[in-house]
Structure formats: structure tokens, C-alpha cells
Amino acid sequence: MKTLFEKIWDAHVVTKVKDGPEVVYIDKHLIHEVTSPQAFSGLEKKGIPVFRPQNTLATADHNVPTLNQHLPIKDPLSKFQVDTLTENCTKYGIKLFGLGHPFQGIVHVIGPELGVTLPGMTIVCGDSHTSTHGAFGAIAFGIGTSEVEQVFATQCILQNKPKTMKIEINGKLAKGVLSKDIILYIISRISSSGGSGYFVEFTGSAIRNLSMEARMTICNMSIEMGARGGLIAPDETTFNYIQGREFAPKDEQFVRAVNYWKSLGSDPGAKFDKTHIFDAGDIEPMITYGTNPGMGIKISGNIPTEALIEDPSEKISFTKSITYMGLQAGECLLGKKVNYIFIGSCTNSRIEDLRLVAQFVKGKKKASHIKALIVPGSKQVQKQAIAEGLDKILSEAGFELRQPGCSACLGMNEDKVPAGEYCISTSNRNFEGRQGPGARTFLASPLTAAASAITGYITDIRTFTD
């Protein structure tokens, strides 16, 4: 009796180092411009080739501007990094969907939408949100640049087998509650380090009923509870999503693959090292108030008070955090004025996110003081949004639909939130300075972000009756 994680892991162990980690074979290696250059120069220095260049796929996303992508990148450092990626990919024979390519986009958006991400795979990338791909029933996790170099050189990395955790969410979600709320709720309950050392499997009826894109949002943020990664057993929803995608198996090969993929689920009675069970009915729209993703509350709730925190060092961290945010302990966030809204990132920039936002803002106008940025996850998402006329709806509501990239999630390009300003962001991290030095981030769902853009202050989506 094995868990889903163990089935995939065991099928990928090449060998085990005596008293040490296991050598894990990697099926798909995704790379981007920020965490790959030093790995390429490592190969160069050692004079070794890329072992399996066909198993690596590259894109430019972290550093790219979201306006005028047809022009040369203005920031010379960003330009150099993106150009270096192009040079390295050409030199080592790696497929690159660079700036301007119809398949370019955030690495964790394009893998799934192109049918590159498949159930049963091991997938790594020099990016912690690689956990996103786990939504397909794959073992996917972020690695450092030394490990990127190891994968280039040998298609393998050394890993200690993590423990397994099951998180089960049963029941029906209330109206206005999205998968983003589910994951923010889970992290608020088990903390930003509660998953450390574990690989998480998400199960239960509430997860089963989610679309693939909603599942990706959940797995995306499994790293925010400290977990190595998160995954969901593949089912008909998964197979239907994959079928017909650009690089997905076709015809007979697809049928054979589905047959195998159907075996990918935890056996009844398989043992997990830890289990959490939550009731979907208890989940409300969520928002974070602090500077780590575990500091989340129900949007109608209050920020905790110091008195509720027992541990003295936790108390210090809590106070540091709400001081940075300019908030008071015990405060309710509803009605708090914000000036910035960011809808995008590998967490919430897919077509369903854009559709939801467009559907909600249709015929409404953003508050005049709000700057609302909506950044699609990929060229394909952008193209689809335009084909469906979402661009017009968004622009009439006063939202700026930009070109694809990581954008204000981490502010490596021009898209930053100014110091001291509040931003409701659909991204994954509310760390100090994450969206720009001094920026203050509230993490929430695309619907909460959209509703707050309309009113101009933090708003409970459920107060809109439509």
C-alpha cells in the first residue's frame, strides 16, 4: 500500500547513496533567466555538456517588462540576463519560449497549458512555486541553482525522501470562496512552516470538485506552508485538461498514458506521516494581514491580539510584522483603503482567473484612486482573453491588461508597489518589500481583489449580491 507520492518517487529512484540521499531522476526540467545563468557557467567551467537537453524547457518571465515587449528591455541588467538565457539555450540546444514567442509566459503557467506537465512526472525548476505542477499528480518542487546545474549535467538530483502529509478538505465551498481562499485558510491554520519536511497530498470532495486551474492555485502555494511540494491525484478533470494540448501525448499514446495515470492515486489504507482534515464549509474569503502567508484571517475577522500569542519570540515577530504593515492588533481589515490591486502571478493569472474578474467587473468601474494591474500568465492566456473580449471589459472597468510575466509579484521589473502603499495582490507572498521596497501586501483571491478595486477599500465579495 503506497501513497501517490511514494508511487511516483519509487519509480524515479536511480540509486541510493549509502547513509545518504537518494538519486532521483528528473523527467522535466524547467528553467528561467534568473536562476539558470550561474548553473550554465558552472557547466562551462567544468567543460561538461547538458546531458539531456530535450528534457529541459526554458522561458523568460521574472525580469520581463509587461509593456512594449516588442521593444528591447530598457533595464540593462534585466536585458543582459534575458539575453544570456537565449545564448545559453542556443549553445546547449535547449528549447526556449523567449520574449515575443507565442508560448512565452510564467514558467508554471506555460508547462501545464502546453501539455508539458503530465501526471506521474518528476519536475523541477529553480523556483519554489514549481509545486504548482503537482496539481496534475506529479512530484514537482523548487531547487537551487547548484541543483539546476546537477540536473543539466546528469538529469538527476540528490534528495532525502520527504515525509508524507495528507490534507483532506471535504464539503461544499460557499459562494464567493475560491481555491485561493482554501489554500490561504490551510496555511493560516497550520502556519508558514507547518508543512516543512513533508510532501503534501490534497484530497477530499472539495478538491475533487475543483477545476485544474483552481487545483494549480492550491498546489502553487504548498511551498508557503513550508512543504517541499503538494500534489493531487489525477482524475477525469486532469485527463480532459491535458487532452489535445500542444505537447501532450496524442492518440494511442494518450490512451496508454491515461491507463497508467489512472493507477496514480494513494492506495486505500496507505499511511501518511501526518493528516489534517478541514471542512470546506468553514472557509470564508481570506486575506493576509502580516508579512508571511501564514498570517491570514477570514476577511470578516480580526487581526489577532498580542495576548493570544504565547511564545515570546513569536510575539516579537508578530509585532514587527504588523508594525511594517501599519496595522493594529485586533483590527478588522474590512473598509481599509488601498491604492493598488495586482491580479497576476503563477498563483492566479490563468484564463479562469481573468474570466472571473472580467465577469465580476463587467459594467462596473474601479474606484478613482485605485491603480489596478492585471497581468496574464502567458501569451496564450492573453490571446484567449482578447479572443473572448475580456480585454475590453477590463479596460472599460479601468483595469490595465498587461503582457505576460511575473510582474509585481516580486517587482524585478518596473511593476512595483511604492513604499508604504497597500496592495491587494493575488500573488503568493506578502514578505516585507516583496512587491517593492516598503510595499505592504494583502494576499487574497482574484474576486476579493476585483471587488476591492471597485469599492477602493478591502471588501467582502459576499456583500455584492450579484
Partner 1 sequence: MQKFTTIESTVVPLPVENIDTDQIIPARFLKATTREGFGNNLFRDWRYDEKGYPKKDFILNNSEYTGSILVSGKNFGCGSSREHAAWAIQDYGFKVVVSSFFADIFKNNALNNGVLPVEISEKFLKEINEQVEKNKQSRLIVNLEQQTLTIKDTGVFQKFDINPYKKICFLNGYDDIDYLLSIKDEITTYEKQSNYLSLLK
When asked if residue 84 is in the footprint of partner 1 (CB under 8 A), the reply is: yes
Taking residues 120 to 159 in sequence order and writing x for each that binds partner 1 by CB under 8 A, - otherwise, the string is x-----xxx-------------xxxxxx-xx--xxxxxx-
Report the nearest approach of partner 1 to the CB of residue 388 (Å).
Answer: 32
84 or 209: CB nearest partner 1: 84
Report the nearest approach of partner 1 to the CB of residue 71 (Å).
Answer: 19
Q: Please choose, from the candidates 298, 247, 263, the residue with its C-alpha nearest in 3D space to the C-alpha of residue 448.
A: 298
Q: Give the range of 46-54, 232-240, 331-339, 378-386 binding partner 1 by CB under 8 A.
A: 46-54
- Using the rule CB under 8 A, which residue among 29, 31, 35, 56 binds partner 1? 35
When asked if residue 249 is in the footprint of partner 1 (CB under 8 A), the reply is: yes
144 or 456: CB nearest partner 1: 144
Rg (CA), the chain: 21
- Using the rule CB under 8 A, which residue among 74, 101, 256, 337 binds partner 1? 256
When asked if residue 22 is in the footprint of partner 1 (CB under 8 A), the reply is: no
Report the nearest approach of partner 1 to the CB of residue 294 (Å).
Answer: 8
- Using the rule CB under 8 A, which residue among 6, 51, 161, 396 binds partner 1? 51
**C-alpha cell belonging to residue 96:** 526556449
Report the nearest approach of partner 1 to the CB of residue 158 (Å).
Answer: 5
Among positions 298-327, residues that touch partner 1 (CB under 8 A) are: 313-314, 316-317, 320
Query: Alpha-carbon distance 221 to 205, whole Å?
Result: 19
When asked if residue 25 is in the footprint of partner 1 (CB under 8 A), the reply is: yes
Report the nearest approach of partner 1 to the CB of residue 232 (Å).
Answer: 19
When asked if residue 54 is in the footprint of partner 1 (CB under 8 A), the reply is: no
Cell 493569472 sits at which residue? Answer: 349
195 or 446: CB nearest partner 1: 195
Query: Alpha-carbon distance 309 to 260, whole Å?
Result: 48
Q: Give the range of 22-30, 165-173, 214-222, 335-343 binding partner 1 by CB under 8 A.
A: 22-30
- Using the rule CB under 8 A, which residue among 53, 304, 398, 438 binds partner 1? 438
When asked if residue 77 is in the footprint of partner 1 (CB under 8 A), the reply is: yes
When asked if residue 37 is in the footprint of partner 1 (CB under 8 A), the reply is: yes
When asked if residue 434 is in the footprint of partner 1 (CB under 8 A), the reply is: yes
Among positions 169-208, residues that touch partner 1 (CB under 8 A) are: 192-193, 196-197
Report the nearest approach of partner 1 to the CB of residue 153 (Å).
Answer: 6
Among positions 385-414, residues that touch partner 1 (CB under 8 A) are: 410-412
158 or 356: CB nearest partner 1: 158
- Using the rule CB under 8 A, which residue among 226, 301, 398, 456 binds partner 1? 226
